[in-house]
Amino acid sequence: MQHHPPRLALPINCVVDAEGRLQAADAAVRRLHSGNGGVEGGVLAIPGLLDLASLCWRIGLRLERTVYVADKDHDLELWVEAEKKDKAIHLSIVGWQERASAPRAPFLMPGLPHRPEKRISFPAMLVSADGIILHASAPLIEAFGPDWLVAGFDVYFDVVGQAGGFAGLLQAQTTDPGRIEVEHRASGALRPVLVNVVQSEAGAIVGARLVFMAEDRMDGVKPVPSRGSGAPPSGLGLGRHFATAVRQPLGRILANAETIGAELNGPISEQYSSYARDIASAARHLSELVGDLEDLDAIDKPGFKVAREPVELGDIARRVIGLLALKAADHQIELVAPPADIHGNVVGEFRRALQIVLNLVGNAIRYAPDGSRITISIDPIDPSISVEDEGTGIAEDDRERVFRKFERLGRTGDGGSGLGLYISRKLARAMGGDLAIGSAQGGGARFTLRLPAA
């Protein structure tokens, strides 16, 4: 490992704007940035450098400090000068040393002191190769109670569609990593779970990290629907392997970021935990975007068809509320379901109708004020389902615009792709119905999905 000389003949430079976005960079910084998942023009994805740039921006003073950066199988110890010039931060790396990676904290094992002061925000667990649950985060204990912690994974959970219990799962995951579905035996609850197999330095499987995802995140990692090899080229021309190819690495990024955030490899500083959550959030957003693009790819294709099956809109409403209840609770938003005795019997494709209503309620949660109410109602006479929120509504002039592709009405940074409503209306029309927008009584937005009566 190179140790000296650390000084560079020519400094490596980069420029970061007030928002932390990388405006310009020499090749070495670009490599580190993209290696960490950064995108061109995106926020600098090298935490130590970003911290220094943020501090320099905040105080406006010239700084020179050591910055540690993880790079592949080693760490970098950089000497960096930072200066605020022309409404940007100029970072100049004048020293560059490769160092062995800092030792990672050992796994938390039974008997080691627990560190309750660290807030672990992801429902995640660490399971040994022989199926013993070594550690579980607070949200999992809250969800399933504490008793199951003393037993093996197989006693309390069943891996759906996987023979051989946890041992079989480990074996399968080493060759085909990704998402699984787990059933909590006592409650029958099904949860999507991201699996990350942990191997020793010698390559032996020592266990796995499991991150339990909320139901509403399922579509971020949903299995790719199979397409016939003879499918005609799509409007977007993404190719049938696009989603598979992109979703798999995204799933790994998401799993890793969530397990880092859960601190299952040992405690990390709150700041890094926060970075991990940001990475997970970005990966989730990208994953959702891939899903949207995939749908777009399908529905823009000539001859796109949907199934015709009986669909009950009340059932759709209750499922959507079940899936998004946690997300709404995060914002103290109340989801109001239609009365159980009101039914809306229509014809369409069940999963597509569910997808549309999920999109409508998800949007309402995203844009309605915290503490407000979202009401889902059903008209049994002219069968339709409506979603009303108590937000600021959408101006009359903008109402048709929201259904355009990539239309965000000027909104940014909220995790939306601008494709959801476009796709939803296309799907509604493909089922012989329509998706319309209006005003709720309180001035909020009201979206109504109409489908042909059964």
Partner 1 sequence: MGDNGLNALLNAATASAGDAQMLCEDIAQQLFPRAPNLPSEAVLASTRLTLQKLVSGIETALGLASANAVPQSWDILCRSGLLREPALLEFALARLAEEKIGERLDHNGTALFGQISTRLLQSDDAIIADCARALLLAENLAQLRTADSLVKQLPADLLHLLVWRVVAVFQMDRDTASGLVAEGQRLLCAHDEAEAVGAAAAKLVYFLPDSDRAALDDPLSAGLALYVSGLAQDFRLPHDRILRFIDEDHPAPLLLMLRARGHDAQAALSIVQYLRGRRADDQLLPELLQQFGELDPKEARAEILRWRLGASPVWKAG
Specify which residues 197 forms β-bridges with: 208
Residues of this chain, 68-107, that bind partner 1 according to CB under 8 A: 68, 77, 79, 95, 97, 102-106
Kindly list the strands in the beta sheet with 133-136, ordered across the sheet, starting from the edge strand earlier in the chain: 133-136, 124-128, 205-212, 190-199, 179-184, 157-159
Burial of 21 (0-12, 13-18, 19+ CB in 10 A): middle
CA 371 to chain centre: 23
Interface characters, 1-20, with partner 1 (x: CB under 8 A): --xxxxx-------------
Residues 219-248 that bind partner 1 (CB under 8 A): none
Q: Give the per-residue contact string, 18-57, with partner 1 (x = CB under 8 A; - = no).
A: -------------------------------------x--
DSSP secondary structure code for residue 398 in this structure: G
Of 106 and 413, the one with the shorter C-beta distance to partner 1 is 106
Burial 83-109 (b: 16+ CB within 10 A, else e): ebeeebbbbbbbbbbeeeeeeeeebbe
What's the closest the beta carbon of residue 448 comes to partner 1, in angstroms?
48
Which of 62, 72, 185, 241: binder of partner 1 (CB under 8 A)?
62
Among positions 260-289, residues that touch partner 1 (CB under 8 A) are 266-269
SS3 label, residue 358:
helix
**How, if at all, do strands 334-336 and 373-379 pair?**
parallel
Residue 110 Cβ, how far from partner 1 at the closest point, in Å?
17
Closest approach of partner 1 to the CB of residue 57, in Å: 12
Task: Report how far residue 272's alpha carbon sits from residue 278's, in angstroms, rounded to the nearest whole number.
Answer: 10
Report if residue 152 touches partner 1, rule: CB under 8 A. no
Question: Cβ of residue 26: shortest distance to partner 1, in angstroms?
Answer: 20
Contact call for residue 116 and partner 1 (CB under 8 A): yes
Nearest CB to partner 1, comparing residues 59 and 326: 59
Q: Which of 87/104 has CB closer to partner 1?
A: 104
Of 185, 171, 198, 323, residue with least CA distance to 255 = 198
Q: How far is the CB of 392 from partner 1 (least distance, A)?
A: 36
- 119 binds partner 1, rule: CB under 8 A: no
Closest approach of Cβ 179 to partner 1, in Å? 30
Burial of 114 (0-12, 13-18, 19+ CB in 10 A): exposed
Toward partner 1, which CB reaches closer, 65 or 318?
A: 65
Q: Rule CB under 8 A: choose which of 73, 86, 117, 397 binds partner 1.
A: 117
- Exposure string over 424-446, b if 16+ CB within 10 A, otherwise e: bbbbbebbebebbbeebeeebbb
Cα 206–chain centre separation: 27
Scan residues 287-316 and list those touching partner 1 (CB under 8 A). none
Q: Distance between alpha carbon 374 and the CA centroid of its chain, in Å?
A: 23
Shorter beta-carbon distance to partner 1: residue 104 or 305: 104
365: tokens are 């949660």
Supply φ then ψ for residue 264, to 5 degrees.
-75, -20
Contact segment (CB under 8 A) with partner 1 among 22-30, 60-68, 332-340, 352-360 equals 60-68
Least Å from the CB of residue 120 to partner 1: 13
Q: Which of 24, 28, 43, 63 binds partner 1 (CB under 8 A)?
A: 63
Token pair 């020793």 in the structure block, residue: 200
Residues sharing a CB contact under 8 Å with residue 383, sequence separation 6 or more, in sequence order: 313, 344, 345, 346, 450, 451, 453, 454
Among 10, 60, 176, 413, binds partner 1 (CB under 8 A): 60
Q: Which is nearer to partner 1, 112 or 151 (CB)?
A: 112
The residue ranges that bind partner 1 (CB under 8 A) are: 3-7, 55, 58-66, 68, 77, 79, 95, 97, 102-106, 113, 115-118, 266-269
